[in-house]
A = this chain, B = another copy of it.
Amino acid sequence: MTKPIKLTNRAAYQRFVDRYDTFLLDCDGVIWSSNTVIPGVLQVITYFRKKGKQLLFVTNNSTKSRAGNLKKLRSFGLEASEEEIFSSSYTAAYYLRHIIDFPKEKKVYIIGESGIEDELNMMGIKNTKADADNGPIQNWDFADITPDPEIGAVLCGFDTFINYRKIAKAFLYLRTDPDCLFLLTNDDTTFPAIGTVFPGAGSLSSPLIIALNRKPDRVMGKPNKPMLDCIVDKYRLNVERTCMIGDRLDTDIQFGINGGIATLLVLTGISTEKEILAEGAPILPDYYVDSLSNFAEIIELEN
């Protein structure tokens, strides 16, 4: 493995920016941290736009559609368009329609929130809604949990309304039809909220994995490949001139490595310089920098 290059001065920042046409940006830990935007980052993003760089905001959050994620970006003062957002919910819809040509007559059974349903609907993919029918099982009544030959895929994401009926249905669909696809939006075991972490989509899908003794066929989100396959397919990207920018070695940087694109780690989030410099570090970025805001030095020069 090549030693990562630390970007520490204007000339290095400039060379880096010139070398790529497209930046894939993780958000939490790169643009904002603890719900506060990192000072200087918004100017850098505006500068990237001025220089004609293509920007894509990539997030494993499946609970929101692209529209929902856009609202969140705007709440941090970041102007963007829906077309610049790639969430794991949108990835799932794109993957089913454009990568594997999911049969039009088949339905997707969702364990997840409205973001997934919205994106599948917009892509014209039939799906089961998280409706009242999905309340908890009462009085040990399993009678309505029966195979459904219309279901062609089970798609599991994060779901604060998860319950036993949903788990049992998904289990039965997958168990009775070996051709039924088993997909996860993402496999993050936890996610950050209110200053701590809580069990994430990668934990909520585990009852299915354990009960079926079967791994998912595909996981959409970082660090897995489908999200990048979809991005490259949709935007016809030149992978040689694309760089993933993120704060986590095990998700963001591994994602870039898996997809064969360049990677830049910022030190404003989870992963540390110590981890990179450790002997035998398993995941290394091509570049790293203290903060995305460091690139503001180029702007000052140009002004």
Contact = CB atoms under 8 A, between A and B. Distances in A.
A211 B194 contact: no
Nearest to A202: B210
Contact of A207 (B161, B163, B175, B206): B206
Interface string A48-61: 00000000000000
Contact of A210 (B142, B164, B189): B189
A136 B160 contact: yes
Contacts of A198: 142, 145, 168, 171-172, 211
A208 B213 contact: no
A260 interface: no
A164 B161 contact: yes
Interface of A: 136-138, 140, 142-143, 145, 159-164, 167-168, 171-172, 175, 189-190, 193-194, 196-200, 202-204, 206-211, 213
B142 A194 contact: yes
A199 B159 contact: no
- Report how many copies the assembly holds: 2
Nearest to A187: B210
A149 to B, nearest CB: 16
Contact of A199 (B161, B197, B202, B207): B207
Contact of A190 (B140, B163, B190, B211): B211
A212 B206 CA distance: 13
Nearest to A200: B211
Contacts of A208: 199, 203
